[in-house]
Structure 1
Amino acid sequence: MKLMRVLAWTVAGLWLAQSQLAGYENEEDPGPGVARVSLIRGDVSIRRGDSGDWVAAAINAPLVAADSVLTGGGSRAEIQLDHATFLRLASNTEVRLAQLERDRFVVELVQGTATLTLLRPTDAMIDLVGPNVTLKPATTGAYRMEARADQLTEITVREGRAEVYTPRGSEWLRSGQTMIVRGPVGEPELQWARTPPRDEWDRWNEERDRQLRRAQSYRYVGRGIYGVEELDLYGRWIYVPPYGWVWSPHVTIAWAPYRYGRWCWLDWFGWTWVSYEPWGWAPYHWGRWFYHPPYGWLWWPGVVHVHHYHPWRPALVAFIGWSSWSGFHVDFGVGFGRIGWIPLAPWEPYHPWYRWRRGPDGRRVVYIDQSVHIVNNINVVNTYRNARVREAITVVDANDFASGRVRPLRLSSEVDFQRARLIRGTLPVVPRRETLRYVDHPAEPATLPLRTGGGNTGRR
């Protein structure tokens, strides 16, 4: 009787999950915004959400609202918010991503120096919030803000035009102008100041802007896709009918997508692929992969149309599992021995393992699908085109998956494929503390801030 109640609950949950997920791809709400760490120099740490845990940052690490980024002494970092917007952190700087949406970015500068760069026009509204002032860029340009410990914030517009807000009103700053804001949040004083000459930090930002402007790959991708700047260096674009323009990476013959990286647990999205490859952002969160002789693996960015927006995905794969090489069962934990994943090919459906809805107050409420749907009547090889490509399926031990490690196992025979079972909904793997990390090594203690009463940030 107990088993029947469990089965009834599971069937009801699966029906609800599948009915909601079926309409997800057509939903107008693209979901929470996701930024990425696009450059690291030295020691950089990330605090996941509002927890007290700091982890070492990595290139292509995804960031969501409430995450914080901190640079150590002599270190720098860059955060990419969309195709046009970059935030760069000088040494000993901390920022918090207060809000990330498709058309709304709010970043808080806790301490240090940051430069906000808008390389191209964007539909997003952007706020760079200092301890006692808010900067709103009105045009493309470069906007520098420095938050000091003495309740002083200095803003310099190197290029562009921005409005500066305080509780006492607002002022416009144009290229070549500087303003100093003194005092507490409720009673700040605004003072025009002589603009300091460009220093090494400004020159480094300008050189970085020139590098990013040279990127040609945006002409081949659709709206919503960003982080393609590295594709020019690590591959080439070729035209392949009927797909159109596709990207061919410079890789070895034995290479396969979604193999060189790790699975991390990300707020809002659950299991998320973090690539170790320097170009591994856009090709793993948009589009599809397919194998095409004589080129090998190719990335198709999807439909390129002015009215089609491409939402960010944690990974475009289908999951499969085995309890051993001779059977399969599921549990709400590590209930089986091995987990595998198949890169989705063009036009193959994507089944999210997460979803969200709007609450009564209009805020988005995340819901990680807790149902597990094991599909027993699907032949994986016949269903997924890339499953027929030699060594395209990556298989790991379930404990390695839960720990964030990818150490591929080899399938011993075709019988192993036949025993694989397709998994939809949540993977029956409980995330561990290690899955909050982007890399194996911990954050450097010297980069971690020491909070004190009153919200100030000191050093350990």
Structure 2
Amino acid sequence: MHSTTRVRWAVLMMTMLLSGIGVFASEVDDYIPDVTDRVARISYVYGDAQIRRAGSQDWEVAVLNLPMVEGDEIATDANGRVEIQFDSYSHLRIAENSQVKFVGLKDSGIALSVPLGTVVVRVSEFDGARAYFEIDAPKTTVSIQRPGTYRIDAGVLDSLEVVVAATDGGEARVYTADAGFTVKNGRRSKIYVGGSQSGEWEMAQAANFSDEFDKWVLDRDSIIAQRLRDAHYDQYYDRDIYGAEDLNDYGEWISTKNYGNVWRPYSSSLSPYTAWSPYRYGQWRWISSYGWTWVNDEPWGWATYHHGRWFYDNGAWLWSPYGYYQQSRSWWQPALVVINVIGGNVCWYPLPYHYNYYNYNSHYYGHNGHHQNNWNNNHQANNGGHVNGSPTPTPNPSASPSNLPGRLQTDKLNIPPFENVPAGGVISVAVSEFGRGKTFAPASATVAKTMLAKAPTNIDAPPILPVMSDLNGKISPAIRTARPPMVKSASVPTGATVRTADAPLDQELRKSRIFGGRPPLQINTSQGEIKAADTGDDSRRTGAVERPVVRSNEDAQTPIRTAPVYAPPEPTQRDERQNAPVRAPRNDPPPAETIRTPRPDPPVRNDPPPRYDRPVRNDPPVRNDPPPRNDPPPTRSDPPPTKSAPAPTKSDPKPDPPAERKKDG
């Protein structure tokens, strides 16, 4: 029994020794950082903008490539505009005089609060079944349903209107205090959140309300789309290293013998900086969940200072997206440096290529309670760093490094890096000035030699760096600033209901605001028809929700009313001597006296309106005819005239007059 156990252990140990490479690689590949909170960045800033960290009352200057985490706020002045990048396919644009708070920022989804101003959310890839993206405005909640562009106008303080528009194929559900509806692509909704019209909304075409801010958003979309087309995602780096699309404008990718494909900045990109080296030009900012975080001045430094490794090769600084021990996915880190305190100075240099991550902030996690590892609660279910909730596996570099030491040579991690890091790469600042400004210089040769003579493997004893309370508010104006004038001391409540930071509101509000707590009818999306329940009824369903069925109490004995059945009487033998049956008197109650309602008098006939008489026609003027002829009436009818003789001529003699007729005696 015991011999069998010994044999099994011997076989197991031999297997581990023979496959040491795989065992060691597995431990490194499955490495999960102490902090895995999701991080966004300021990818563009113009004018004046300020940020406030979660749990702090102090405001800081918003700068390019500044990390933003859950609970942070950002505000813009009258001349300020800001762009926030969540990943390669999700951006937030903030207009002037606006305020935004990152209520929820996790791999499972994003929730923003916009109490004032105007924002535009651009999501080019989105799967609502795997993640959520919601924006709260005063008394309003917007839930994104599809990829597209969404504009939310929260207005000014005490504004009575909130405007939501969806374009570029977008569609959003909008919820108010007591209702819910959908804004389709190309539409714009004005929601009344106060005044006499509170609770109402009206729709219009979004294209009719475009302004200069929309034009700026389109310009930014065009720039980012071009960068993404030229990017090398899934070729040189994976999609967890978002922001790497900026590198093509400031450097080039080259193939090296010992490190594979790496990125080299152009000389023109380094010319503005004297004796440039990584992690020299920038500032240290405190982020509650991560601790001290490097914020670079270079416009291209987001990916190169939070992923991969900087290393010195053939007289030049180069950047690799990965260290020698490539992990299963790329994790964002506050800075990839080796840092220590020597002779009253805080010194640091880039973490060399062959070394594992050195967590210089781990001292604060067990002492000051700043550690927030939400991996178990928020990341395992979604397992990703994108808004779609799914990470992209780290690809193999197209050109694999050659002549690299074997992974079994773990003693190489204990070799001091003075052969791989030049003395000029060690940067230092006095302990009293750490975190207060952005003026750093290379360490002296003596300090640099001391710094590089130690291997960065003692993670259990990180340096004790100053904390924010140690600075006593003595921070450079380049970092600390006054509260924005448009931000009031009292916060403006937003959202259609109270939000839980770790959960979306869409389904809850849809059920209560739209369906009234009842389940909706199922729609056959492939045919666009309502799917009836399997009840054998082929009739078309009606209604927006399932109407509750009125059910009787099965235990109660409800009498069933039946119609009477007519049964004719049977005939009987008539007996003349038989007395007539005596009919019992009816005890019917006397008929109630009918009270007749007096007939109302007919309405008094009003005289008809006066008859309309046609106007009298004026006689035409009297004609001046000649007077009538007074010819005597004929006494009798003359015989028809005889044929008249021809008219006498002048030569004929004149006839004699007729002789006078003699009278009879």
- Give the structure-1-normalised TM-score: 0.77
Given candidates 144, 149, 157, the residue that maps to 2:166 is 157
CA contact 1:344–1:386 (8 Å) conserved in 2: no
Cα deviation, residue 382, structure 1: 3.6
Of 460, 465, 470 in structure 2, the residue corresponding to residue 429 of structure 1 is 465
Residue equivalent to 1:280: 301
Residue in 1 aligned with 2:202?
Answer: 191
Say which is worse superposed, 50-59 or 25-34, in terms of deviation.
Answer: 25-34
Cα displacement string for residues 411-446 of structure 1 (whole angstroms, at most 9, x for unaligned residues): 234754477685645531222366897962543555
Q: Distance in 2 between matches of 1:25 and 1:351?
A: 16
1:171 correspondence with 2:191: no
| CA positional deviation for 1:315 | 0.4
For 2:430, the aligned partner's letter is D
- Pick the aligned partner of 1:204 from 216, 223, 229: 216
Asked if the contact 1:264/1:438 (under 8 Å) is kept, the reply is: no
Partner Cα distance (1:272, 1:176) in 2: 41
Once the two structures are superposed, the pairs formed by residues 289-328 of structure 1 within 5 Å of their partners are 289-293=310-314, 296-302=316-322, 308-322=328-342, 324=343
Match of 1:217 among 227, 231, 249: 231
Q: Which SS does the other structure have where 2:214 is aligned?
A: helix
Q: d(CA) in 2 for partners of 1:53 and 1:260?
A: 24
Q: Given residue 231 of structure 1, which amino acid in structure 2 is its aligned partner?
A: L
Which position in structure 2 is the counterpart of 1:371?
none
Question: Contact 1:237 / 1:248 at 8 angstroms: preserved in 2?
Answer: yes
**Cα distance change of structure 1 residues 303 and 410 upon mapping to structure 2, 3 Å threshold:** closer
Tell whether 2:487 aligns with 1:449.
yes
Matched with 1:104 is 109
**Which runs of no fewer than 5 residues in structure 2 stay unpaired?**
1-26, 366-370, 380-410, 495-665
The alignment yields a C-alpha RMSD, in angstroms, of 3.5
Distance 1:308 1:36 in 2: 23
* Percentage identity across paired residues of the two chains: 27
Alpha-carbon contact 1:291-1:386 (below 8 Å) kept: no
* 1:93 partner amino acid: S
Q: 1:46 to 1:24 in 2, by over 3 A?
A: farther
Q: Aligned partners of 1:280 and 1:386: how far apart in 2?
A: 25
The AA in structure 2 aligned to 1:193 is A
So what's the TM-score if we normalise by structure 2? 0.55
Aligned match for 2:352, one of 318, 323, 345:
345
Indicate if the aligned counterparts of 2:51 and 2:62 stay in contact, CA closer than 8 A: yes
The 5-angstrom pairing of residues 386-397 of structure 1 reads: 388-397=421-430
Pairwise CA distance, 1:84: 1.2
- Whether the aligned pair in 2 keeps the contact of 1:58 and 1:439 (CA below 8 Å) is no
- CA shift at 1:159, angstroms? 1.3
Check conservation: 2:293, 2:334, Cα contact below 8 A: yes
- 1:126 corresponds in structure 2 to 133
> Is the alpha carbon distance of 1:298 and 1:160 closer, same or farther for their aligned partners in structure 2, counting shifts above 3 Å?
same
1:256 pairs, out of 258, 261, 277, with 277
Secondary structure at 1:214's aligned position in 2? helix
CA-CA distance at 1:270 after TM superposition: 0.6
Kept in 2: contact 1:402–1:429 (CA 8 A): no
Q: Distance in 2 between matches of 1:139 and 1:303?
A: 37
Question: 1:313-367, CA deviations, whole angstroms, 9 ceiling, x for partnerless residues?
Answer: 0001111331x2xxxxxxxxxxxx01211211224100323465668x9479xxx
Amino acid at match of 1:349: N
Offset at residue 157 of structure 1 (A): 1.1
Q: Report if the CA contact (8 A) 1:46-1:54 is conserved.
A: yes
1:43 alignment partner, one of 40, 48, 70: 48
Task: Return the structure number with greater strand share.
Answer: 1
Residue 177 of structure 1: how far off its partner (Å): 0.6
Larger Rg: 2
Mapped to 1, the partners of 2:443 and 2:33 lie a distance apart of 41
Q: Distance in 2 between matches of 1:290 and 1:274?
A: 19
Is residue 31 from structure 1 mapped to residue 36 from structure 2 by the alignment?
Answer: yes
How do 1:226-245 and structure 2 match up within 5 A? 226-245=242-261
Q: Aligned to 1:94, which of 96, 99, 103?
A: 99
Question: 1:439/1:221 Cα in 2 relative to 1: closer, same or farther (>3 Å)?
Answer: farther
User: Paired residues, what number?
Assistant: 405
CA 1:206/1:437 → structure 2, altered by over 3 Å: closer, same or farther?
A: farther
CA contact (8 A) 1:118 1:141 kept: yes
